Structure 1
Amino acid sequence: MKAVVLPRVSYALLLALGLALVSSPVFAGQTAFRQQSVGGVSIDAQGQLTSATPEVKKMLRQEMLAALDKVPGNLATPVKMRKVSLRGLNAIMKSSMETDGELPDAVKYMAGLQRIEYVFVDEANDDVILAGPAEGWTVDENGNVVGLTTGRPVLMLEDFIVAMRSVQEARRAGITCSIDPTAQGRQNLDNYLASLSRMDASVKDGVERALGPQVITVTGVPTSSHFARVLVAADFRMKRIAMNLDPSPVRGLPSYLQMLPSARAVKNAMPRWWLACNYEPMAQSEDGLAWQLRGPGVKAMTEDEYITEDGSVKQSGKTSPLPQKWADLMTANYEELSAEDKIFGDLRNVMDMCVIAALMEKEQLLAKANLDLDMIKSDASPVALEEFPTPSTVPTFFSAMKKGSQWVITASGGVDINSWEVASHTEKVAGMDKLRTEQLASNNKLWWWN
């Protein structure tokens, strides 16, 4: 979108952003309010998504707490290394479905794991073990399932299932999400701005009406899945923080608008931000039976874009200093941000899962363990995924901030999970073999152990 100077006005940096969803059936056995609210956003009866109100968050939390089982035994204990047997997890899923068709909370929340840090192949027991920090779980004030002491999001089995079943699609084209204005909307907005002679209160409605609904595109995973909703909600929240529509929960991350010394600092560029994988090379043992996922997991990326005469977007291949500075700040503050705004922790969890799924496929770890995860990997599994309304469009919202000259910008962006690229970067690290032996020796023959 071109920068536009409006005569006889002393301010206006404008942003267009929003989100709406199309309705779909509510998945049996799940709470209505979980359907309405994911990642701090809420869907109304018409399928439009906005930030969740305090009332919706309260009702969601009450429903989820009422449905939550008491955390059993040693699962409540915070530990740096909890092990989850995929053979055992698959078996208890099968047993639960044959018994009453309901999965226990311990299974739904993968024994309270908060990250997958290690993968061990247990050849002696024909098993693959996931390991990482874990603790008991509860529901926070926003309806997120989080650790009892850390408040960090726990891993969700439904997201792991999506990651495992989508691994080949991730290999072919990656897993992505973006929210973008339409070409027609950009043309309409340019025409509207060209017709203005001054700024007043009516401009807000005019900008929102001219730009119209924006398009949500999700690739690589089922668009009706919770996984897809995590991608969309994280992108939505990133844009709203960048453009000062929502306050940043982290002191070290101001909005992009607050960082601009003047509107002219954008130099006619339309910044695009997106969230991508941020891992170090994976550590592996000499025998390829132990693996460690290393690095912070997520980083913010940026690139300048420009609008052609027909309203389409082109990437410039260049990066402006100020958008890059904001992206760097988000990356540097991501750990703290994910603790304060749980959707960013959820995003890192699903990225971890995608990388682990790609690793297991690339290295044929299930074949090495003679392990068939029919309940997890197969589309014919009786374990049905919860179906959420499929995100499709975004209504435009308007934000203005006094910055001297009069410029109009918009933010596009998204999420890009290139899990196979991460899984392809490995290095052999001394001591991984010993660590695997030590951790497997503590196996208590249950499907999880500390």
Structure 2
Amino acid sequence: MRSSLLGRSVQNGLGLWMPALLLTAICVGSMASSVQAGIGLGNQNAVGGVMIAPDGSVRAATPDEQKVMAQVVRNAIDAPTGDLAKATDFRVISLKKLQAKLKEADQAGKHLDAETAFLAGLQRIEYVIVDQENNDLLLAGPAEPWMVRADGNVVGTKSGGSVLRLDDLVTAFRSVESARNDGGIRCSIEPTAEGRLRLQNFLKNVTLRPGQNPAYLEAGMRQAFGPQQILLAGVPTDSRFARTLVAADFEMKRLGMGLAESPVAGLPSYLEIAKNQVQSRNSSPRWWMACDYEPIAHDEAGRVWKISGQGVKTLTEEDSFNQDGTVRGNGRKNALASKWADMMTAKYEELSIERPIFRDLRNVMDMSVVATLITQQQLDLKSQIDLGVLRGSESNVELASYEMPKSLEPQCSFIKGRSGWTVTASGGVNLNAFGVSDNLATDETLGKVAVAETAADRWWWDGK
């Protein structure tokens, strides 16, 4: 039986237990023989700088933790050389040859190198190309050399955006059917009904004197609220993919509720823009991040498919509270909550450079859309390629495994308005790749896209 240390607790060469600030995938000092689809450094308590411990505690990684992790990552991964050290607008990946490399590594008992774990520096998948002559499917898009930031995140040297990961691509392919059965891939961090009732009872006994700052109540309000549930659907809960969803949701809530300072100008917290405004007693704004793509374009023959759009947008609606503490979406939108959602959407690209977890979220959305498109349009059958390695039915590509807590310590803010209290605590991610892959448009100009020949011994190359 094969075993994997990928994503589990291991000691680095310094003999220190380190938080895995990156959801990456290079194994250090492991004797496991199965192919590792990622970089496992230290323990699995963090992603994107957000510490998520199995006991439910959550906090930002300290500067010292980030500094040490950055050095550990630099020591563990190879720097890009040759063509990998050059940025390009069009890097092509052969899924046929990538799978062959994974098979070879599995049979030889080798771990994957950084070149493979980081998908040759790919920044985004913009094209899916059916190569019938070679029974292949090609993925193409811009690529850059990678570097390790001071906080330990691995990003492109040109754009500063997080690189795509093989680990996430494999998870995306293996989650298409589960996402179909679950109605999409979803993540939310929710208060319990009991916690809402405790909070309502707490607030009934609160009387603020004129001019008194309600901030002193927040500790007691959080205690009354209690732990928040982590709800996931459509994707394995122990995957890097799932932790990316949770960490992005968590970080969005921190920005929206003023629990973390915005790193970009022009994106104040919701609390700032809603200060001293009328607040409803029986409803609260909810924000979530969802897919934001243009219709997927394809040529007449269905040979070339182009994926475009920002990838992620922020949406909102109000939650109404029932007497038993449960909530329901009422379909209404708070004007100020909508303003904040629109501001985050407009600032998303800039924000994702400062907070790489948001670029990681777009990356997993891109890969889910690609995997779903290939499945829905049967592009593998059209090219007569067997994707058994990526889909998990062939060979032994093991993924990082992270212990996911079922609840987190409460992260919520409270606004005392002229008509009552507003509690902002709910959020989430809704990844409906099926809706994206079904929204198609014909573009005859895509038939002119040509892909240059590759060297026989390489699974990626540059140029149109």
**Fold-level similarity (TM above 0.5):** yes
- Please state if 1:308 is matched with 2:322: yes
Q: Distance in 1 between matches of 2:150 and 2:418?
A: 40
Match of 2:444 among 410, 430, 444: 430
Aligned-residue CA RMSD (Å):
2.1
Q: Deviations over 1:236-285 (max 9, x none)?
A: 01100001100111212111111115141557530000000011111101
- Structure 2 match to 1:192: 202
- Please state if 1:26 is matched with 2:9: yes
Instruction: Specify the SS of the correspondent of 1:229.
Output: helix
Q: Distance in 2 between matches of 1:268 and 1:45?
A: 33
- Structure 2 match to 1:17: none
* Alignment check: 8 A CA contact 1:270 1:305 kept: yes
Paired residue type of 2:297: A
- Please state if 1:348 is matched with 2:362: yes
Structure 2 residue runs without a partner (length 5+) = 1-6, 11-26, 29-38
Q: Distance in 2 between matches of 1:45 and 1:261?
A: 35
- Please state if 1:449 is matched with 2:461: yes
Match of 1:83 among 76, 92, 101: 92
Paired residue type of 1:111: A
Paired residue type of 2:141: G
- Structure 1 match to 2:110: 101
Paired residue type of 1:109: F
1:411 positional shift:
2.8
Q: Distance in 1 between matches of 2:254 and 2:348?
A: 16
Match of 2:68 among 47, 59, 82: 59
Match of 1:289 among 296, 303, 311: 303
Higher mean C-alpha displacement, 257-266 vs 241-250: 257-266
- Please state if 1:177 is matched with 2:172: no
Match of 1:270 among 284, 291, 306: 284
Q: Deviations over 1:358-381 (max 9, x none)?
A: 110011111112211222111564
Q: Deviations over 1:159-217 (max 9, x none)?
A: 00010000112223100000110000000111111122346776232112111100010
1:398 positional shift:
5.5
5 Å-filtered alignment, 1:215-254, equals: 215-254=229-268
Paired residue type of 2:142: P
5 Å-filtered alignment, 1:29-48, equals: 29=28, 31-33=40-42, 35-43=44-52, 46=55, 48=57
5 Å-filtered alignment, 1:66-215, equals: 66-172=75-181, 173-198=183-208, 203-215=217-229
* Alignment check: 8 A CA contact 1:164 1:376 kept: yes
Higher mean C-alpha displacement, 244-253 vs 33-42: 33-42
Identity of aligned residues (%): 44
Q: For residues 161 and 183 of structure 1, do their structure 2 counterparts lie closer, same or farther at Cα, with a shift above 3 Å needed?
A: same
Q: For residues 180 and 43 of structure 1, do their structure 2 counterparts lie closer, same or farther at Cα, with a shift above 3 Å needed?
A: closer
5 Å-filtered alignment, 1:414-429, equals: 414-429=428-443
- Structure 2 match to 1:4: none
Q: Deviations over 1:132-152 (max 9, x none)?
A: 000111211222111122211
Q: Distance in 2 between matches of 1:102 and 1:169?
A: 28
Give aligned pairs, total.
424
Paired residue type of 1:155: L
Q: Deviations over 1:16-72 (max 9, x none)?
A: xxxxxxxx9537655454623212201458552211111221122111111011213
Q: Distance in 2 between matches of 1:56 and 1:222?
A: 28
1:224 positional shift:
0.6
Paired residue type of 1:79: T
Q: Distance in 1 between matches of 2:414 and 2:319?
A: 21
Q: For residues 94 and 392 of structure 1, do their structure 2 counterparts lie closer, same or farther at Cα, with a shift above 3 Å needed?
A: same
5 Å-filtered alignment, 1:379-418, equals: 381-397=395-411, 399=413, 407-418=421-432
Q: Which has the higher contact order (CA 8 A, sep 6+)?
A: 1
* Alignment check: 8 A CA contact 2:413 2:425 kept: no
What TM-score, normalized to structure 2?
Answer: 0.87
Instruction: Specify the SS of the correspondent of 1:273.
Output: strand
* Alignment check: 8 A CA contact 1:165 1:379 kept: no
* Alignment check: 8 A CA contact 1:175 1:221 kept: yes
Instruction: Specify the SS of the correspondent of 1:103.
Output: coil
Q: Distance in 2 between matches of 1:408 and 1:402?
A: 7
1:424 positional shift:
0.5
* Alignment check: 8 A CA contact 2:235 2:241 kept: yes
Q: For residues 403 and 191 of structure 1, do their structure 2 counterparts lie closer, same or farther at Cα, with a shift above 3 Å needed?
A: closer
Q: Distance in 1 between matches of 2:411 and 2:438?
A: 40
Q: Distance in 2 between matches of 1:403 and 1:72?
A: 57
- Structure 2 match to 1:279: 293
Q: For residues 381 and 191 of structure 1, do their structure 2 counterparts lie closer, same or farther at Cα, with a shift above 3 Å needed?
A: farther
Paired residue type of 2:460: W
Structure 1 residue runs without a partner (length 5+) = 1-23
